[in-house]
Amino acid sequence: MGNIAIAEIQFADYIYPAFDQIVNEAAKFRYRSGNQFNCGGLTIRTPYGAVGHGGHYHSQSPEAFFCHVPGIKVVIPRGPSQAKGLLLASIWDPNPVVFFEPKWLYRQAVENVPEDDYILPLSQAEVICTGTDLTVVGWGAQMAILHQACSEGRQAGISCELIDLQTLIPWDKETIEASVKKTGRLLVSHEAPITGGFGAEIAASIAERCFLHLEAPVSRVCGLDTPFPLVFEPYYMPTKNKVLEAIKASVRF
């Protein structure tokens, strides 16, 4: 009918009843139709991640499930300005996009966001700060934690290059590869459980593409392989201190 489709799921934890429709129908619609139909450029907005008191049904990070599916894109902003630019880019993209929004942004993030329309290109990572000793990669809410850890690392004499991936699928391999070839080290961090998390895909790809440039094993600082806890959330989360310790260990290697 010529309309643009934008769906909203209140919590990413409850996206699973729609999983079949997303991965078996929406993701394959353009392919099945020979590019005649595209689900109205479907964009699915859904809040994800920890919020401090959400427990195991309102705190999960399920992005890796969708990163395994050809035909859809996965986008996660780190702040209000990125949320607007990336969301508009997702809406205008003809492919289905799962747009994960960090819950903590809704009430804690404040920025002067341009009122005019603008888009930020999908599949393009952003280098937040340059460095020479270690490449640090993350996305979404975890970027605030990584920025704090990199700042403290810089005070300790460790120069970190911090990169926001922004789009997980298709992800910007070239930017990460160029950074790792310069620094010789890589640390990836996300809230989702470490096993099968998207950080493992980044680690494997960079180990393959940058093997001769690596000075240390790729490090991952992620959530634990447990259901998301309530009172034990501080132990589960990849906190600033955990990231900072991994930064120091990687540089010492």
Average pLDDT, the chain: 95
Q: What local confidence, expressed as pLDDT, does residue 199 receive? A: 98
Q: What local confidence, expressed as pLDDT, does residue 219 receive? A: 98
Q: What local confidence, expressed as pLDDT, does residue 253 receive? A: 77
Q: What local confidence, expressed as pLDDT, does residue 1 receive? A: 75
Q: Can you spell out the DSSP letters for 136-181?
A: EEE-TTHHHHHHHHHHHHHHTT--EEEEE--EEET--HHHHHHHHH
Q: What local confidence, expressed as pLDDT, does residue 196 receive? A: 97
Provide mean pLDDT across the span 129-158.
Answer: 97
- Give the confidence band of 155 by pLDDT, cuts at 50, 70, 90: very high
CA distance 162 to 165: 10
- Give the confidence band of 104 by pLDDT, cuts at 50, 70, 90: confident
pLDDT greater at residue 111 or residue 160: 160
